[in-house]
Amino acid sequence: MNRFKGLSISGGKVHGAVCLYSAHKHADTTVRLIAETEIAFEIERLDNAVDECAKELEQFTADVRERVGAAESEIFSAQRHILLDKTILATIRAHITTELTNAESAVARIFGQFEERFLAMSDMLLRERSTDIGEVRHRLISSLAGTRAGFNCAGLHKCSRGRDRIIVAEELTADMMVHMDSSRVRGIVTEKGGVGSHAAMIARSLGIPAVSGLRGVYSAVSCGSSLLVDGDTGEVFIDPDERFIVERIPDPDSFSDAACHLESPAGISVMANASSIEDVRNASTIRADGIGLFRTEILFLRAERLLGEDEQSDYYRQVMVAAHGRPVTFRLMDIGGDKELPFLRIEKEENPFLGFRGARFLLGNPDILETQVRALVRLCDQWTIRIMFPMIIDAPQHRKLVALVRGIVDKMGIDQSKIKVGAMIETPSAFMQIDEIAAESDFLSIGSNDLTQYMFAVDRSNALVSGDYNPDHPVLWSALSGIAKAAAAKNIPVSICGEMAGMPGMPQRLIDIGIKILSVSSKLVSRVRGELIVTA
Ligand code: PEP
Ligand code: MG
């Protein structure tokens, strides 16, 4: 038995078989010249690969429609159409025949030409199609070459995307988290990725035991290896024997739900953070006091494309319905940092956490912003809607966003009182102008994950520097008190939606400094309430 010790990302213990995930993308294919006698063979390989990929995409379309939604599944059915496009396939066959090249290089060449053509188009939606063409090219070449990026279950006929398995990956990425079969993944083990990354948060909100920072683990296991993950201690054991498994995990199904019936103490709200309708349903089941943070960008990450106003509005409406009348704070898409949307083709940044993200991205993309705001404002026919701006850096930037939203509300002829706007305070500079920002907000919410990151110049996703990521630091607490005081002075509510709100011992301390709305992962709502009741 081999033992690895890393960083605990999400608690819980589990034993199971490994599913490998590789973020490695297929390398460009080099041209291999063939003899005329090989033409028929190469064309047959091409046709077989096309068949295989078409079946895969058909399966994905059905799976995603069932698991995520019809809108999200369209991406795969669109890609299947591209794959089966008669003109493109005929051009590839002609290329093999006339240029005498192998199928991989003909696919790379011809698909590449179509991709370039779409990329040069002025219409944004058409430009986005180039990403689909690129993905089809990649899929087809991987199939021809017998390699696959992403879930890489060697030996399994059909990749299970981690279903009933423990995923082992080089890196804990948001991309991996949204593409795995989240309802059935049993555990996650990675070489890199910090406790504050978005992928880590998703793992915690799903209640999946996870350990990171385990150098060498990826090459130490293979698909199907037996693994025991202890997310409480940060340990991982390869090939544990039966006796060890029973000692470590005496009763794998034990779960106490006694705490699920707790209510929040009077005057305190314990809300849930959510990234999907499923999360909102879970929050309603345990009667959380609302959704303090709905991360809308995850919708786009899952769909791998931009969604139109109707699609978004339908989705947000389902969120509101699932919340059963409790308030939901929708954060406008917070793109950038560790949440990349490759289809937007934002230039690769040296420092994405300091780059074109959050409020900057929204102001730089007024069309995307307007579509999302309109989709949300449409819900005012039934509810009062709360809209929150991510990564505000100062009062003028906040003012611009408020004006844009208010302008859209006016244009749509909706009563302004039906829309509440608020700023996330997650940069030191926003804190420095907190009075001005509070004066123009209906509410504030503290994003302590990013506030800690920027205050101490410590990358929240980097396990190497996690020792400096200290939610107990007095500097952070003096900022938290300052924000609470500014909100009280303007008589507006302030919440905290960063991970620290759910850490043992923190809830009461936050309440003591005047932050009475805590928003935590729904798995933690009951524990936080229990803690508050005990300390009351
Ligand atoms: C935060 O930064 O604390 C926060 C809640 O936002 P996110 O984790 O999505 O960046
Ligand atoms: Mg943040």
Instruction: Provide DSSP, 66-115.
Output: HHT-HHHHHHHHHHHHHHT-HHHHHHHHHHHHHH-B-HHHHHHHHHHHHH
User: How far apart (Å, rounded) are the C-alpha atoms in residues 331 and 66?
Assistant: 26
* SS3 state at 442: coil
174 neighbors 199 (Cβ within 8 angstroms):
yes
Q: What is the pTM assigned to this prediction?
A: 0.68
Q: How many angstroms is it from 424 CA to the middle of ligand 2?
A: 8
Query: Of the residues 178, 195, 426, which should be mutated to test ligand 1's pocket, given the most ligand atoms within 8 Å of the CB?
Result: 426
Residues with pLDDT less than 70, the chain = 23-30, 64, 67-69, 72, 124, 128, 146-161, 175, 178, 251-261, 342-343, 345-346, 535-536
Which whole-number Å values give the CA distances from 496 to 337, 509, 514, 521, in the listed order? 20, 12, 11, 12
Amino acid at 398: H
pLDDT at residue 256, rounded to an integer: 43
Beta strand 226-230 pairing with 210-212: unpaired
Q: Phi then psi for 334, rounded to 5 degrees?
A: -105, 85
pLDDT at residue 135, rounded to an integer: 80
User: How far apart (Å, rounded) are the C-alpha atoms in residues 67 and 353?
Assistant: 31
pLDDT at residue 69, rounded to an integer: 65
Q: Which ligand is nearest to the CA of 301?
A: 1
pLDDT at residue 158, rounded to an integer: 46
pLDDT at residue 257, rounded to an integer: 47
What share of the chain in percent tops pLDDT 90? 53
The candidate with the shortest Cα–Cα distance to 335, out of 368, 367, 308, 310, is 368
Residue 243, token pair as written in the block: 């006796």
Q: Which domains does the chain have, with CATH numbers?
A: 2-23+151-248 (3.50.30.10), 36-145 (1.10.274.10), 257-535 (3.20.20.60)
Query: Of the residues 297, 469, 497, 499, which should be mutated to test ligand 1's pocket, given the most ligand atoms within 8 Å of the CB?
Result: 497
**CA quadruple 119, 122, 128, 129: dihedral positive or negative?**
negative
Question: With 0-12 CB in 10 A as exposed, 13-18 as middle and 19+ as buried, what is 424?
Answer: buried
Q: H-helix or E-strand containing 389?
A: strand 385-389
pLDDT at residue 147, rounded to an integer: 57
Q: Is 198 a catalytic residue?
A: yes
**Ligand 1 atom nearest residue 273's Cα:** 5
pLDDT at residue 154, rounded to an integer: 45
For atom 8 of ligand 1, the residue with the nearest CA is 449
pLDDT at residue 421, rounded to an integer: 98
Q: How many angstroms is it from 358 CA to the middle of ligand 2?
A: 8
